[in-house]
Amino acid sequence: MTLASNLRSSRGTCFTSEPAGAIRAIDKHSVHQICSGQVVLTLATAVKELVENSIDAGATNIDVKLKESGAEQVEVADNGKGVEEANFEGLTLKHHTSKLRDFSDLIHVETFGFRGEALSSLCALSDLSVITCHESSQVGTKLVFDHKGHLVQKTPHPRQQGTTVSLQQLFSTLPVRHKEFQRNIKKEYAKMIHVLQSYCIISTGVRITCSNQNGQGKRSTVLSTSGSQSMRDNIGAIFGPKQLQSLLPFQQVSPTENVIEEYGLKDADLPKQLFSITGFVSQGDHGVGRSTTDRQFYFINNRPCDPLKVTKLVNEVYHMYNRHQYPFVALNIAVASECVDVNVTPDKRQIFLQEEKLLLAILKTSLIAMYEGGVNKISLNYTPPPSTSKNTPLHNKAEREEDTEPVILSPKSSLNLAGLKAAFSSHYSSSSGKSSKEKASGSGTTQKTLQSFFKDPVKTSSCNSSLKSPLKYTRQLDKCSSAGKSVLDGFRYQAITSVNNETFKETSGNSHAVPEDPELETEACTPYEDSAVSPEAKRARKDDAHFPSEEESSTFSNAGEKQSSTVDAPVSLQRRTVHLQFSLAELGKKMRRLQDQQKQRAGEELLYRRFRAKINPGENHSAEEELKKEISKEMFKEMEIIGQFNLGFIITKLKSDLFMIDQHATDEKYNFEMLQQHTILQGQKLIVPQKLHLTAVSENVLIENIEIFRNNGFEFLIDEDAQVMERVKLVSLPTSKNWTFGPSDIEELIFMLSDSPGVMCRPSRVRQMFASRACRKSVMIGTALNVNEMKKLVVHMGEIEHPWNCPHGRPTMRHLANLDVISQD
């Protein structure tokens, strides 16, 4: 028997007479189900499609009603033109539309919908019914459709002009998606509200209302607009009058030459007045922005969209003036329809634009001009010094000399103040082993020395004349302060080696260093040039007690040039030439031997090395991922304490791996998580309840998660029967020593709970407070620990959720080495 016949006999009917790889057409019903699942992905998409249909029908009043946040029913009613009886059959059929006839019409389409997919897809995903009354009809009609989009029932139904579309059990035909939809209904609901807000903002002259009913409770209004002709009024209706107070109208200006050059554009080829941008953005003052990007809305030709590059640019410019917040944004970009491609994604949120770089240039220039025009400008009240004249009194000259004294510390000067401070601190710490008498006398001498070095105006002015030459500056440094020279000599070596350890090498019998490259010496070590001078030159300096006076400063340059060849010349290194024997055959053998060794080591690394990340700030993420993968919570109890290193790090061993644990960072993270979990902040009562003017969505999130707000120290007075935006009043605020909290923390907490309803979370400022407390109560670097104390800190790491870095971002643990690999090497 052949192999094929054996397979047929063993597997029964699994094989057919047709070839295994035969290509056949998918049946229409399966195609309909597959494609419908790609068109309508979320609750937000379903509501968006129905609202767009209502706006395209010319409605001026749209009412969105939900049951159980949309899990049970979604209903959208409008007062548009209605559906003619002749269009009943094709209303929910795939790719049936009245918006266009052929592909060329797509360029000039101005309606939201044009594909004829929305109602057809909703039929496939839910139980859809329509009640409609056309403007030419006397009575309405109720239409019921099956999952294929076919009309199965048509009955008269009383209704005024317009259309009502009802969806029952959305996604019920897709079991996996339906279960996920029911489980994440709060997130789906919040996303739907955000999408609906964008249509409320841009749809001027249209009154849009959304309400929700949970169980048998009262139907609550979520958002509502008044049908105003102004975008500003719509923003106020949705987000309240408080939001309007912090907005600036967008003022468009032409891009500047610098911005045009930045985006690689040519001014001569740019189309004029291609884009027209209108809308509003937040002021640049701190406190008026948002902690998140939850109120940013962009429109192209009145169509809500998600232009990623535009969003990124607006936030980057805003962060130039308000680093820690995000702006409220509502911008409508008008452009010729032939320059836009909206047929990119099923939800039409991604849009392609011609001349997108020009749009970015206009936005950047306009936003900078708005904020520079007085929104966030700071006056330094700087008055330039008066010009020098012959009649200037002597005391004015002295004042000017004092004013110009800091020139020696400017970036243009060759004195590196940061390096000087670092070197001084290094020198000071290295001398910690001195006796108390030496420390007492040394501190006073050091203070006087630094004061004389930096603050003597007469000597400083004599130094300024020769700052251009590093070699001259060294000699002037010796002249300016002999005491300063003695201090600087003590820590020049530390400052030099901190610049580049690989470039310098120590000279035998001397604490100074000689650079290999004279040019590098002049560049990197200018303030400490004396460390590169030969011993003979130093002795010559000590023997020569005469230094040029101030009157000789004009001839100092020539004198410096003459002396530089004999006094300040760097040490020349003598190189020895060695003849080497060379053989290509021998080189090939060595290369092959080296490759074999590398392959062997690579195999050993694959066998032993589970931790490949180095202790380097650039590899922190990789190191954390390796630790998460290889170290479980139970392993911390099994770790053996080796000892304490440098009074700051615990060395532990787990099997053949050595780890280094930061004693302060790990204790801080443990204390932080304990505070997060167990602290209940106490609130302080307000004299008068404070109105918060929250949106209807925010009010609902707050009411549903009231216990989490109480654990964070907030107390509210809730009136279910009050108007929207006035149902919640603040009666108690959390306070803790010097930390105070307010409405901005409430809004941040609401945003966090919108994404994770019911999950205990803290506002960022509360986390900062806990982090500060945890840091202060933790074991400090420099504290000696015994074995039991070190073991306690290590075991604590296994009791917290995220033990890999402290609240301030410092790593808690890193892999040092694998003993098996070391023993083989």
Sign of the torsion formed by the C-alpha atoms of 685, 689, 690 and 692: positive
Q: What contacts 277, CB < 8 A, 6 or more positions away?
A: 250, 252, 331, 332, 333, 334, 362, 363, 366
CA–CA distance, 231 with 205 (Å, rounded to integer): 10
3-state DSSP call for residue 163? Answer: strand
Average pLDDT (492-514) is 40
297-311, 412-426, 624-638: which is most confident = 297-311
- For residue range 266-290, list pLDDT tens digits in order: 876 778 788 999 999 999 888 788 8
CA–CA distance, 627 with 804 (Å, rounded to integer): 8
CATH fold label, 231-373: Ribosomal Protein S5; domain 2 (3.30.230)
Output the pLDDT for position 574. 65
Give the DSSP letter string of 494-529. HHHHHH-TTTEEEPTT-SSEEES-HHHHHHH-GGGG
Residue with tokens 């490259």: 517
Sign of the torsion formed by the C-alpha atoms of 40, 45, 49 and 54: positive
Please tell me the least confidently modeled range out of 442-446, 527-531, 541-545.
Answer: 527-531
Average pLDDT (445-462) is 43
- For residue range 49-82, list pLDDT tens digits in order: 999 989 988 899 999 999 998 999 999 999 998 8
Neighbours of 814 (CB within 10 A): 22
Average pLDDT (234-240) is 90
Residue 266 and residue 353 in contact, taking contact as beta carbons nearer than 8 Å: no
Choice between 109 and 460, residue whose per-residue pLDDT is larger: 109
pLDDT of residue 206 exceeding 90 = yes
The model's confidence at residue 86, banded by pLDDT at 50, 70 and 90, is confident
CA angle 400, 403, 407 (to 5 degrees): 120
CA–CA distance, 30 with 33 (Å, rounded to integer): 5
Domain ranges of the chain: 28-224, 231-373, 620-824
Output the pLDDT for position 603. 55
Q: Over pLDDT 90: what percentage of the chain?
A: 26
Output the pLDDT for position 390. 39
Q: Where are the alpha helices (DSSP H) in 283-416?
A: 308-319, 356-370, 394-403
CA–CA distance, 787 with 277 (Å, rounded to integer): 67
> Of the candidates 710, 708, 711, 699, which has an alpha carbon nearest to the alpha carbon of residue 747?
699
Output the pLDDT for position 649. 94
pLDDT of residue 22 exceeding 90 = no
Choice between 29 and 650, residue whose per-residue pLDDT is larger: 650
pLDDT of residue 358 exceeding 80 = yes
Output the pLDDT for position 280. 96
CA quadruple 36, 42, 46, 51: dihedral, nearest 10: -140
Output the pLDDT for position 405. 37
User: What's the CATH code, domain 28-224?
Assistant: 3.30.565.10
Amino acid at 797: M
Average pLDDT (632-636) is 88
- Reported as type and span, the H/E element at residue 86 is none
- For residue range 155-188, list pLDDT tens digits in order: 999 899 999 999 999 999 888 999 999 998 888 9
Output the pLDDT for position 825. 58
CATH H superfamily, domain 620-824: MutL, C-terminal domain, dimerisation subdomain (3.30.1540.20)
pLDDT of residue 484 exceeding 60 = no
> Of the candidates 168, 230, 223, 176, which has an alpha carbon nearest to the alpha carbon of residue 203?
230
Give phi and psi for 97, each to the nearest 5: -150, 155
The model's confidence at residue 114, banded by pLDDT at 50, 70 and 90, is low
CA–CA distance, 725 with 221 (Å, rounded to integer): 10
Q: Strands (DSSP E) along 437-569, which ranges? A: 504-506, 513-515
- First CA to last CA distance, the chain: 59
The 10 Å CB-count burial string (b at 16+, else e) for 357-377 is: bbbbbbbbbbbbebbeeebee
Residue with tokens 């801080």: 668
Average pLDDT (662-690) is 88
3-state DSSP call for residue 248? Answer: strand
Please tell me the least confidently modeled range out of 289-293, 450-454, 755-759.
Answer: 450-454
3-state secondary structure 387-398: CCCCCCCHHHHH
Neighbours of 208 (CB within 10 A): 28
pLDDT of residue 395 exceeding 80 = no
3-state DSSP call for residue 29? Answer: helix
- For residue range 779-818, list pLDDT tens digits in order: 999 999 999 999 999 999 999 888 888 888 889 998 888 8
Residue with tokens 């070190």: 790
3-state DSSP call for residue 76? Answer: strand
Sign of the torsion formed by the C-alpha atoms of 64, 70, 75 and 76: positive
For residue 184, give both structure tokens.
């994440």
Output the pLDDT for position 104. 54
Output the pLDDT for position 618. 81
Q: Strands (DSSP E) along 264-396, which ranges? A: 276-282, 296-300, 303-305, 329-334, 340-341, 352-353
Average pLDDT (83-94) is 82
Output the pLDDT for position 37. 59
Output the pLDDT for position 525. 37
Dmax (CA) of the chain:
121
User: Which pTM does this prediction carry?
Assistant: 0.59
Mean pLDDT estimate for the chain = 74
Output the pLDDT for position 2. 45
Average pLDDT (213-242) is 88
The model's confidence at residue 549, banded by pLDDT at 50, 70 and 90, is very low
3-state DSSP call for residue 770? Answer: helix
Average pLDDT (35-62) is 86
Give the DSSP letter string of 212-233. EE-TTS--EEEEE----S-HHH
Choice between 239 and 217, residue whose per-residue pLDDT is larger: 239
CA–CA distance, 814 with 68 (Å, rounded to integer): 49
Output the pLDDT for position 677. 83
The model's confidence at residue 460, banded by pLDDT at 50, 70 and 90, is very low
Give the DSSP letter string of 574-618. PP--------HHHHHHHHHHHHHHHHHHHHHHHHH-S----S-GG
pLDDT of residue 491 exceeding 60 = no
Amino acid at 211: S
For residue 109, give both structure tokens.
């389409």
pLDDT of residue 355 exceeding 50 = yes
Amino acid at 225: T
CA–CA distance, 48 with 121 (Å, rounded to integer): 13
> Of the candidates 80, 89, 81, 164, which has an alpha carbon nearest to the alpha carbon of residue 128?
164
pLDDT of residue 463 exceeding 70 = no
> Of the candidates 174, 186, 72, 91, which has an alpha carbon nearest to the alpha carbon of residue 130?
91
Burial group, residue 45, by CB count within 10 angstroms (0-12, 13-18, 19+): buried
> Which CA distances in Å does 702 have to 729, 732, 758, 760?
11, 15, 11, 13
